[in-house]
Amino acid sequence: MSDITCHPLFDRIVDDLAVRGWSRQDLFLPADQTRELAAECRERYRRGELVPAAIGRGAGQQVQEGIRGDRIQWLEPGQSAVGDRYLALMDGLRQTLNQSLYLGLADFECHFACYPPGAFYRRHLDRFRDDDRRTVTALVYLNEDWQPEHGGALRLYLEEGGAERSKDILPVGGSLVVFMSADLPHEVLPASRERLSLTGWFRRRGAF
């Protein structure tokens, strides 16, 4: 892999996924790249390109702000230099996960997500009932100077010793959270300020 697709934290992510099914890395993106991605997200929002996120899939999609209140737009190759660097980095992580965990990940999809103040996303799983391609979820946060009093935590529901416990992770800029999409219920708690992220999924090939 080239330098842009390598990262010193890839091995830690692999180890965490193998042992406990999730990983948090606080210094995944450098500050300048985080700021550039945040600026791109805000500019897309300003241009009206981020739309209310729906729940469900295909013809069954519905916007229900009582369940999910973020606004999103998909990040595609060729849209921006900073976006392409991010996609290349995540493809490096995809290759590492395949080499180490034999997950058979074929691609990566992701979107910008902006949660206005007060918005949230109720408890859910990331894998659709009728589509099992999403295998590993990857969240990168783009929020500068995030403080605990701002709220907006990602709440993970972890199974430990036959009992469930919750773990809250603040959306600190440059940090990464990765987990197995089918196994880990989670929700996004309301925040008192705008909350930005890149939300993505490593996917297996679908059935033909």
Rounded Cα distance, 54 and 86, in Å: 25
Residue 196 has pLDDT above 60, yes or no: yes
166: nearest Cα among 190, 138, 195, 186:
186
Q: Which residue has the tokens 């295909």?
A: 58
Of 161 and 154, the one with more pLDDT: 154
Rounded Cα distance, 41 and 202, in Å: 21
For position 59, what pLDDT does the model report? 54
pLDDT digit string (tens) for 143-158? Answer: 999 999 999 999 999 9
Rounded Cα distance, 96 and 13, in Å: 10
Got the DSSP string for 143-154? -TT--GGGB--E
pLDDT above 90 as % of the chain: 82
Strands (E) located in 26-153: 51-52, 71-74, 105-115, 121-124, 134-141
- Paired residues of 62 in beta bridges: 55
* Least confident segment among 57-61, 63-67, 202-206: 57-61
In which element (H, E) is residue 86 found?
Answer: helix 81-101
Residue 181 has pLDDT above 60, yes or no: yes
Domain enclosing residue 177, as ranges = 3-204
Give, in order, the Cα–Cα distances in Å from 34 to each of 67, 89, 104, 130, 141.
28, 13, 29, 34, 8
For position 2, what pLDDT does the model report? 44
Work out the mean pLDDT of the chain and round it to a whole number.
Answer: 92
pLDDT digit string (tens) for 14-53? Answer: 999 999 999 999 999 999 999 999 999 999 999 999 999 8
Residue 72 and residue 111 in contact, taking contact as beta carbons nearer than 8 Å = yes
Residue 1: which pLDDT band, with cuts at 50, 70 and 90?
very low
Q: Which residue has the tokens 């099992």?
A: 132
For the chain, the first-to-last Cα distance in angstroms comes to: 30
Got the DSSP string for 144-203? TT--GGGB--EEEEEEETTEEEEEEE---TT-EEEEETTT--EEE--BSS-EEEEEEEEE
pLDDT digit string (tens) for 83-119? Answer: 999 999 999 999 999 999 999 999 999 999 999 999 9
Q: In what order do the strands lie in the sheet with 134-141?
A: 22-25, 176-180, 134-141, 195-204, 105-115, 71-74, 51-52
Domain count, the chain: 1
Q: What is the CATH number of the domain that holds 75?
A: 2.60.120.620
For position 198, what pLDDT does the model report? 98
